């Protein structure tokens, strides 16, 4: 049993070319993974699913020559705050149901994250409707419009 020794001759140029092509293939694989990997799809779906553009949106209301703002703060997916700004003491005294009506509406809107099926007492009907219209106007400014 004799073993025959085989001698393989490698040219240094061939080894270098093989290593370079192997390195390029690895780099290409890494780039493709980062371009089309699961992280990219996740970010695209969360951006597409965002309901609102985050920020603070205001709508002005005029009552008896007094103007005040309804301020709505939104995150990408939720309404986080609704409040009255620039409400003077005289307006607050003339329309005492304004702040209680807003508190009642805001608590319902926070829980449902919608302006649909909002309940309000009959003594606050017109005040609540006025506030709901203002809140709806502010939210329409905040909504993400589908790209066409």
pLDDT higher than 60, residue 129: yes
Q: Mean pLDDT, to the nearest integer, of 4-19?
A: 88
- Contacts of 11 by beta carbon, 8 Å cutoff, 6+ apart: none
Q: Mean pLDDT, to the nearest integer, of 69-84?
A: 89
Instruction: Indicate the DSSP class of residue 61.
Output: E
- 88-114: pLDDT as tens digits: 888 788 888 788 888 888 888 888 888
Query: What integer best gives the mean pLDDT of the chain?
Result: 83
Q: How far apart are CA 147 and CA 140, in angstroms?
A: 16
User: What pLDDT is attached to residue 125?
Assistant: 84
Please, which residues bridge with residue 143 across strands? 52
Please, which residues bridge with residue 23 across strands? none
Q: Mean pLDDT, to the nearest integer, of 77-89?
A: 86
Q: How far apart are CA 91 and CA 85, in angstroms?
A: 12
User: What pLDDT is attached to residue 93?
Assistant: 81
| Residue 31: pLDDT band with limits 50, 70, 90 | very high
pLDDT higher than 80, residue 6: yes
User: What pLDDT is attached to residue 120?
Assistant: 82
Q: Which residue has the higher pLDDT, 117 or 144?
A: 117
Residue 26: both structure tokens together: 């690895």
């Amino acid at each position: 049993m004799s073993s025959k020794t085989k001698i393989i001759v490698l040219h240094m140029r061939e080894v270098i070319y093989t290593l370079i092509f192997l390195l390029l293939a690895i780099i290409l694989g890494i780039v493709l993974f980062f371009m089309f990997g699961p992280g990219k799809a996740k970010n695209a779906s969360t951006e597409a699913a965002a309901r609102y553009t985050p920020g603070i949106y205001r709508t002005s209301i005029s009552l008896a020559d007094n103007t005040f703002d309804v301020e709505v703060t939104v995150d990408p997916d939720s309404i986080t705050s609704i409040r009255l700004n620039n409400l003077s003491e005289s307006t607050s005294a003339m329309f005492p149901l304004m702040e209680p009506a807003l508190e009642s509406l805001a608590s319902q809107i926070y829980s449902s994250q919608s302006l649909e099926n909002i309940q309000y007492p009959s003594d606050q009907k017109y005040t609540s409707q006025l506030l709901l219209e203002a809140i709806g106007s502010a939210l329409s400014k905040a909504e993400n419009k589908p790209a066409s």
